[in-house]
């Protein structure tokens, strides 16, 4: 295929811009879509792409944006947990679709679009970001070492100087203080988003950071995928005070469950920028798997800098694979099993991001 047309919705956002920048030399005709024409045009010009003005909530604008395109990469976020309007519109136009969105129900429920995607020959893949794409690749590699899986634990912490985008903060606020179902002792139990806080020891230079319970696709997908007895996913930000501040929002949410916390995302991003000079660029995520004998194996990706390359890697690598080899299959899938751990490690190494392995609670260099 010569010069396929690819549109990146949210292509000048935090992760969208990293994907766009890396896809620019691919030979594809690149389009950057979003609601802010001045930001969008400046960024599109800088990578020799074209800007398309599009509010994805506007059906006509979305249809015009998708029409004639080979692939749409969505880095704008799903706007509600069960809103499949963007992937549905792509399927209707026979446009392939890759989405960084990591809402638990959104990713776990995508199979409901499988029949319509297959009928149109479209590849639809959601959760093309750290969770579940990279975490599942790491868990799969660790689970190989055990006959039966006792527990899978994922912990993630971002460096304070790596500014999170509004869409990422909105997706965290969507579950803070609300019930979260987790698989514990072979059955579903109800906990609360951003509770179960603990300090977790990441490999150097990240070190000890606070993490709390998150409502992510891994919690829904891993129990059956790996036949695990327990699955938990915790994340946090570098500055301990911010973790507690988000916890306070959770307490308020518990008192008033109907409050729309996601609307605070813009304000929180603005507020966190005031503290950007504190902390570091060091981030990491770690996956630990315990076998039924109690032995534990762990694997962490450590980013002393360039941390945002990790969440942007799956969509980028998947898009490159599709451009090079065509779609892996027609249908609608969570982003698990499409990219290997070795592919992630190879792509991330030039950015100084490395893998560390651990056993029974202690880390050693890979
Ligand atoms: N799975 C994971 O591990 C993981 C980790 C991190 C992030 N993510 C996901 O990655 C996605 C991007 O996050 P981010 O932090 O990069 O977001 P961001 O910096 O806030 O960027 C979002 C982009 O989308 C655009 N946008 C927002 N609403 C739009 C609309 N209605 N129509 C068209 N464009 C719109 C924004 O531009 P305008 O506002 O100017 O339109 C912006 O360019 C989110 O879905 C987030 O949940 C996943």
pTM: 0.93
What pLDDT does 79 receive? 66
Domain shared by 299 and 182, yes or no? yes
Q: State the distance from the centre of ligand 1 to the C-alpha of 62, rounded, in angstroms.
A: 16
Domain shared by 210 and 356, yes or no? yes
Exposure class string for 12-42: b at 16+ Cβ within 10 A, else e: bbbbbbbbbbbbeebebebbbbbeeeeebbe
Asked if the peptide bond before residue 132 counts as cis, ω within 30 degrees of 0, the response is yes
Q: What is the DSSP string of 265-327?
A: HHHHHHHHHTTTTSS-S-EEEEEEEEETTS-EEEEEEEESS-TTHHHHHHHHHHHHHHHHH--
Q: What is the mean pLDDT of each run of 10 residues along the chain (366 residues)?
A: 90 96 91 97 97 96 97 86 91 97 93 98 97 97 95 94 77 90 97 96 96 96 96 93 89 83 80 82 96 93 95 97 96 97 97 96 78
Which one-letter DSSP state was computed for residue 7?
E
Domain of 70, in residue numbers: 5-129+309-340
Domain shared by 61 and 166, yes or no? no
Atom of ligand 1 at shortest distance to CA of 127? Answer: 1
Ramachandran area for residue 308 (φ above 0: left; ψ -120 to 50: alpha; else beta): alpha
Domain shared by 103 and 202, yes or no? no
Q: Which residues pair with 319 in a beta bridge?
A: none
What pLDDT does 365 receive? 60
Q: What is the CATH number of the domain that holds 125?
A: 3.40.50.720
Contact between residue 49 and residue 32 where contact means Cβ atoms under 8 Å apart:
yes
Rounded CA Rg of the chain: 20
Q: State the distance from the centre of ligand 1 to the C-alpha of 10, rounded, in angstroms.
A: 6
Domain shared by 167 and 298, yes or no? yes
Domain shared by 212 and 160, yes or no? yes
Atom of ligand 1 at shortest distance to CA of 216? Answer: 1
What pLDDT does 262 receive? 75
Domain shared by 102 and 218, yes or no? no
Q: State the distance from the centre of ligand 1 to the C-alpha of 77, rounded, in angstroms.
A: 5
Domain shared by 206 and 326, yes or no? no
For residue 315, count other CB atoms closer than 10 A to its CB. 29
Beta strands in the chain (DSSP E): 5-9, 29-34, 50-53, 71-74, 96-99, 123-126, 149-158, 179-184, 187-192, 198-201, 208-213, 228-237, 283-291, 296-303, 331-334, 354-359, 362-365
Atom of ligand 1 at shortest distance to CA of 35? Answer: 41
Domain shared by 217 and 352, yes or no? yes
SS3 label, residue 17: helix
Q: What's the domain count of the chain?
A: 2
Domain shared by 160 and 120, yes or no? no
Measured between alpha carbons, how far is 69 from 73 in angstroms, rounded to an integer?
A: 11
Write phi, then psi, for 113 (nearest 5 degrees): -95, 0
Pocket of ligand 1 from Cβ distances under 6 Å: 9-10, 12-16, 34-36, 39, 54-57, 75-77, 100-102, 127, 129-131, 164-168, 171, 311
């Amino acid at each position: 295929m010569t010069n396929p047309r690819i549109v990146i919705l949210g292509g000048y956002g935090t992760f969208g811009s990293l994907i766009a920048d890396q896809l620019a030399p691919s030979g594809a005709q690149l389009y950057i879509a979003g609601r802010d024409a001045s930001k969008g045009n400046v960024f599109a010009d800088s990578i020799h792409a074209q800007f398309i003005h599009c509010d994805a909530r506007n059906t006509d604008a979305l249809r015009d944006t998708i029409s004639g395109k080979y692939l749409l990469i969505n880095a704008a976020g799903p706007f509600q947990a069960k809103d499949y309007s963007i992937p549905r519109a792509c399927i209707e136009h026979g446009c392939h679709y890759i989405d960084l969105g990591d809402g638990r129900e959104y990713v776990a429920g995508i199979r409901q679009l499988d029949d319509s995607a297959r009928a149109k020959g479209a590849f639809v893949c959601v959760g093309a970001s750290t969770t579940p794409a990279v975490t599942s690749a790491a868990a799969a590699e660790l689970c190989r070492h055990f006959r039966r899986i006792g527990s899978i634990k994922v912990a993630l912490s971002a460096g304070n100087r790596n500014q999170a985008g509004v869409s990422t903060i909105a997706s965290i606020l969507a579950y803070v203080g609300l019930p979260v179902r987790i698989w514990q002792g072979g059955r579903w139990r109800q906990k609360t988003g951003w509770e179960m806080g603990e300090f977790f020891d990441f490999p150097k230079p990240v070190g000890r950071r606070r993490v709390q319970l998150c409502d992510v696709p891994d919690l829904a997908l891993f129990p059956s995928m790996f036949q695990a007895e327990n699955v938990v996913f915790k994340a946090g930000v570098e500055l301990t005070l911010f973790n507690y501040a988000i916890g306070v929002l959770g307490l308020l949410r518990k008192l008033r469950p109907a409050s729309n916390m996601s609307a605070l995302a813009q304000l929180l991003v603005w507020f966190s920028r005031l503290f950007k000079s504190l902390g570091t660029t060091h981030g990491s995520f770690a996956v630990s798997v315990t076998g039924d004998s109690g032995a534990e194996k762990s694997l962490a990706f450590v980013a002393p800098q360039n941390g945002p390359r990790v969440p942007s890697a799956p969509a980028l690598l998947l898009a490159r694979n599709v451009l090079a080899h065509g779609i892996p299959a027609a249908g609608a899938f969570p982003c698990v099993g499409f990219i290997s751990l070795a592919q992630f490690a190879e792509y991330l190494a030039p950015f100084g991001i490395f893998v560390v392995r651990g056993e029974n609670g202690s880390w050693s260099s890979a």
